[in-house]
Amino acid sequence: MTEPGQAANALELKDLSVAYRVGRRNRAVLRNVNLTIKAGEAYGLVGESGCGKSTVALSVVRYLPRNGSITGGSIALDGKDVMKLDAEALRRARADSVSMVYQDPGKALNPSLRIGRQLTEIFELAGITGQAAEDKALAMLNRVRISDPAGVMQRYPHQLSGGMQQRVAIAMALANDPSMLILDEPTTGLDATVEAEVLDLIGQLRRELSASILFISHNLAVVSNMCDRVGVLYAGMLVEEGSTKDVFNDPRHPYTVALLRCLPRGGQRKDQGRLDTIPGFLPGIGANIVGCAFADRCALATERCRAEPPPLYELGNGRLSRCHYHDQAQSLPRATPAEIAAAAPKQAPPVLQVEGLNKTYGSHGRPLRAVKDVSVSLRPGETLGLVGESGSGKTTFARLLLGLVAPDDGGSIELEGKKLAPRLASRSEDQVKAVQIVFQNPDSALNRSHSIRHILSRALKRLGGLSGKTLDSRLEELVRSVRLTDRHLAVKPRQLSGGLKQRVAIARAFAGDPRIVVCDEPTSALDVSVQAAILNLLADLQSRQDVSYIFISHDLGVVRYLSDKIAVLYLGRIMEFGPSEAVFSGPHHPYTEALLSAVPKLDRAESSRIRLDGEIPSAANPPSGCVFHTRCPRKIGAICETKEPELSEAEPGHTIRCHIPYDELASLQRPKTVEPA
Amino acid sequence: MSATDTPASLPAPAAPDTQQRSPWGEVLHSLLRSGTFLTGLFILLFWVVCALFGQHFVPYDPLASDIINALTPPAADHWFGTDQLGRDVFSRVIVGSRDILTVAPLATILATIAGTALGLVIGYFRGIVDDIVSRVLEAFMAIPVVIIALLAIVALGTSKITVIVVIGLSFAPIIARTVRSAVLAERELDYVAAAKLRHEGALHTMFVEILPNVIPPILVETTVRLGYAIFAVATLSFMGFGIQPPSPDWGLSISSNYGMIGGGFWWTVLFDALAIASLVIGVNLVADGVHGAFND
């Protein structure tokens, strides 16, 4: 409790322990978490999935699932002990002083009520009714800077885009003017451009409101941009805490050091070395931890670490680290050697040549041009990165290559100089096995009823044409090449972790010695340390087998790490195409510029940013002229609205679709070189 | 739970502290803890035992008439009384479960096999196949079972086989509809696209890839249908289209005795009716339990 006259801390957790009851045993999820958020402060909580981040949030509002219970410690909101509140007082506290925004706004909003109704409901609870409540609701929508608030009030949640839904959810959370705002992965499902807008909004609101913020995210860069202080959670324990700048620039716990190293940073590329990984696994919930929880995965660990649990050492300046050797944390040796044999660039003929590919869907009688006039080429052993917001045609393009959907007449896809039939059914066996895919979600991509052995054997039989003994020996080889073991063959997909499942999916794609593998967001469902391991694996397989990748990802850092060429797509059109370095370092198309600028970065202090207004237009009704003119920050005039620019060559091999001449783009973009992710 | 998977330390498939059960193990576990399911199973097993071994332990031959003792009310030597031919009602009720417990399950199995195959095909191919077949099935479902049975009996004659085929085929569209909707969801998953990218045939994709994943809704629908099938068999027997005399079948017994309720001879009908009711309730409780176990 606080002294009278002194401002209470917005949130104070003292020795908070939470357990989930699973199979008649209480399993510890949070272990003695101490955490204080001062009034008006933004506090970031980071850590991989399973560390207990969301459990912290749920405990604060006492929304733990039925099998969860607080086994020790205390939670104080504004100096009031949440644990001691009775049902009515708890309801009041939830209504008045604390609000939560969840990851999926689509699930947080009631699908059968209009937005206006859902918003006014909150004010009615506070005793404001009728027109007054409606005015207040409208004011809330204005505050979250939603376009056409009056129109939005009349709409249902499904009629809004993800970004708008999240704005509404934030408006609802702010309606009662809470003193504590909990944001649980608020931008995780959103496009980078939309994410940037939502983060900007949260940043602006912070300045206008007095609310303290607990910001939970697995994305270190987002937290580094949003928060004053940050806490790193590992196995339900706070392992490091300090000001955001200190923790990310000068980490003092090996776990933080390792997490930061897993991210491709500063324009790192596959030919400059592999990403670092974290060996081993997070301790399971309720595991009995002797000594340091991270010791098993830490190359610095000594006997002392395994025997004696480290306390939270105070390092001065508000910094804490739960490591006996916090002063040496940054000397943590790499878990994966960085060196790789640099492959000499080859001048082989292209393995893939796409000319004038189009795909039009009929949508309510209106043609919807999902892919328009796309031409790309790719050499063996190269990666083509496809970049663009959702709805830009990346996945449709990939499905055209695979033959899962047939393109419009006219264009052509050539594989090693031979024309590919538009439909999968009319392609030859050799062509089918030559183009394979690693899907985004391994849970959907692997048949849950089949064992890993069945999945891979079937692929070897159909794609590799193998059987009997040769199949078995090749299976063993394949399993080893993706760094799984025989042990994994007997199990079903659900018994494997996300990263291991994705390895199985990769193995399946490689069963028939493919020439091209489409990777459709293969790491977006994975934690950063697992992502690093998968990216390393893809890079290794490529350098060994000379396979080409079509790599789709919304994470530009990841795309840059793996890609040799980049195609930037917008409304199904290529806006920019060229060697990865040229596209990233610029000068680039204004759209590429905006995309790069939207990505939250760890390395960069806040600099000038370009924000795209509004949503990506509908492909069924694309803007006239240059399709990007409606959102373009560098629009030059009427010509942009009337005439569609050609893809013109800026440098050899680097083409840009823009009316602004290349030299002018160069001088426009020079003053503030946009640092890539 | 997160796991960084480097070659150095691969996990055992099931971590010891998570106690992972297989999906089927989990279903079995929750079934064995469900009072609904166990009660239903108990009733069902009781009648199965009666059907299999009833004739060895009943006090009288269910078919032996004893005209002198006709229509005696329930008493110590005839617990459920006797019917108009003096046959022991208790013995007839116990043994009467035999025909219905052969015919109804076989009809349900036929419905399940036919319905599953049909549902897989229309769900997988969609489009014009689905449009045409679904409309035909809907039209078929609109005709009452009794009318179909009447037509079939005129065409095929009365026999257990006819009853099985009639009920099996009239329930097949309902199961097909359930399977179809499950298949529609499954076919959008990426493993189906992955099968196409291996040039797998439609049969392989339907029966090897998709079918194992739609077993749970099929099982639920099958147990629900079994309850209806029992009722349908009893109804057909009652109307004289089903199981034929001299079988002690329940529906048949009710049909031949119900005229005597007015004369106060209630025991000739009541116990057979209760038997049908208890079996249907038992099967429905099992169905509820199975549904709950798969949807928890």
Give B17's contacts in chain A (Cβ within 8 Å): 27, 284, 286-287
**Cross-chain Cβ contact A530/B14 below 8 Å:** no
Residue A219 pLDDT exceeds 90: no
DSSP state of A44: E
Residue A180 backbone phi and psi in degrees, to 5: -135, 125
- Residue B26, chain A, CB below 8 Å: the answer is no
What does the pLDDT average to over A414-420? 92
What does the pLDDT average to over A651-658? 90
Partnered with residue A271 across adjacent β-strands are: none
**Cross-chain Cβ contact A484/B10 below 8 Å:** yes
Q: Which of B104, B89, B97 is nearest to B51 (CA)?
A: B97
pLDDT band at A320 (very low <50, low <70, confident <90, very high): very high
Comparing A133-142, A207-216, A263-272, A497-506, the range with the smallest average pLDDT is: A263-272
Nearest to A50 among B1, B7, B22 (CB): B1
- Residue B127, chain A, CB below 8 Å: the answer is no
CA distance B216 to chain A (A): 12
pLDDT digits (tens, 9 = 90+) for A43-100: 999 988 888 888 999 998 888 888 888 999 999 988 888 888 888 888 888 888 888 8
Q: Which of A645, A148, A631, A147 is nearest to A391 (CA)?
A: A631
What does the pLDDT average to over A143-159? 87
pLDDT digits (tens, 9 = 90+) for A496-524: 888 899 999 999 999 999 999 999 999 88
- Residue B200, chain A, CB below 8 Å: the answer is yes
DSSP state of B69: G
Q: What percent of chain A has pLDDT over 90?
A: 41
Nearest Cα residue in chain A from B205: A447
pLDDT band at A218 (very low <50, low <70, confident <90, very high): confident
Through-space distance between the first and last CA atoms of chain B, rounded to whole angstroms: 21
DSSP state of B208: I
Q: Under a CB-based contact definition with an 8 Å cutoff, are residues A43 and A226 in contact?
A: no
Give A485's contacts in chain B (Cβ within 8 Å): 10
**Cross-chain Cβ contact A494/B23 below 8 Å:** yes
Q: Where are the alpha helices (DSSP H) in chain B?
A: 23-32, 35-57, 89-95, 97-125, 127-142, 145-156, 160-186, 190-196, 202-204, 215-239, 250-257, 267-295
How many interchain CB pairs under 8 A, A with B?
130
3-state class (DSSP) for residue A371: strand
Say how far apart CA A361 and CA A444 lie, in whole Å: 25
B contact test, residue of A281, A430, A446 with most B CBs within 10 A: A281
What does the pLDDT average to over A167-172? 89
Nearest Cα residue in chain B from A401: B197
Comparing A312-316, A344-348, B127-131, the range with the smallest average pLDDT is: A344-348
Give B29's contacts in chain A (Cβ within 8 Å): none
Say how far apart CA B280 and CA B283 lie, in whole Å: 5
Burial letters for B123-156: b for 16+ Cβ neighbours within 10 Å, e otherwise?
A: bbeeeeebeebbeebeeebeeebeeebeebbeee
Q: Which domains occur in chain A, in start order?
A: 11-227 (3.40.50.300), 242-331 (no CATH), 352-563 (3.40.50.300), 574-669 (no CATH)
Instruction: Kindly state the helix (H) or strand (E) to which residue A501 belongs, with its residue range.
Output: helix A498-509
ipTM metric? 0.84
**Cross-chain Cβ contact B11/A279 below 8 Å:** no
Q: Residue written as tokens 């003119």? A: A629
Q: Which residue has the higher pLDDT, A611 or A460?
A: A460
**Cross-chain Cβ contact A449/B11 below 8 Å:** no
Q: Which residue has the higher pLDDT, A664 or B115?
A: B115
**Cross-chain Cβ contact A533/B5 below 8 Å:** yes
Residue A470 pLDDT exceeds 70: yes
Comparing A198-212, A477-491, A608-622, B187-201, the range with the smallest average pLDDT is: A608-622
Q: Under a CB-based contact definition with an 8 Å cutoff, are residues A33 and A75 in contact?
A: no
Q: Residue written as tokens 């500063």? A: A266
Nearest to A500 among B5, B8, B189 (CB): B5
Residue A482 backbone phi and psi in degrees, to 5: -100, 15
With a CB cutoff of 8 Å and minimum separation 6, the contacts of B122 are B129, B130, B133, B134, B176, B180
Q: Residue written as tokens 């009833």? A: B54
In the sheet that holds A237-243, the strands lie side by side as A98-101, A180-184, A212-216, A42-46, A229-234, A237-243, A319-321, A313-316
3-state class (DSSP) for residue A530: helix
3-state class (DSSP) for residue A66: coil
**Cross-chain Cβ contact B6/A485 below 8 Å:** no
Say how far apart CA B59 and CA A342 lie, in whole Å: 91
- Residue A256, Cβ neighbours under 10 Å: how many? 27
For position A61, what pLDDT does the model report? 87
For position A342, what pLDDT does the model report? 59
Instruction: Kindly state the helix (H) or strand (E) to which residue A647 belongs, with its residue range.
Output: strand A647-651
Nearest Cα residue in chain A from B1: A50
Spans in chain B with pLDDT lower than 50: 1-19
B contact test, residue of A447, A457, A534, A552 with most B CBs within 10 A: A447
- Residue B296, chain A, CB below 8 Å: the answer is no
What does the pLDDT average to over A141-153? 86
Q: Under a CB-based contact definition with an 8 Å cutoff, are residues A293 and A237 in contact?
A: yes
**Cross-chain Cβ contact B3/A490 below 8 Å:** no
Give B21's contacts in chain A (Cβ within 8 Å): none
Say how far apart CA B77 and CA A577 lie, in whole Å: 96
**Cross-chain Cβ contact A284/B194 below 8 Å:** no
Using the Cα atoms of residue A64, residue A494, residue B198 and residue A508 in order, give the sign of their dihedral.
Answer: positive
For position A666, what pLDDT does the model report? 85
Say how far apart CA A296 and CA B5 lie, in whole Å: 14
pLDDT band at A453 (very low <50, low <70, confident <90, very high): very high
Instruction: Kindly state the helix (H) or strand (E) to which residue A565 belongs, with its residue range.
Output: strand A565-570
Question: Model-level pTM?
Answer: 0.86
Say how far apart CA A228 and CA A246 lie, in whole Å: 10
Burial group, residue A658, by CB count within 10 angstroms (0-12, 13-18, 19+):
buried
DSSP state of B210: I
CA distance B40 to chain A (A): 27
Q: Residue written as tokens 């042990």? A: A487
Q: Which domains occur in chain B, in start order?
A: 34-59+75-295 (1.10.3720.10)
For position A4, what pLDDT does the model report? 44
For position B1, what pLDDT does the model report? 37
**Cross-chain Cβ contact B2/A287 below 8 Å:** no
Is the omega angle on the peptide bond into residue B246 within 30 degrees of 0, that is, cis?
yes
Packing angle of the helix pair B127-142, B97-125 (nearest 10 deg): 150
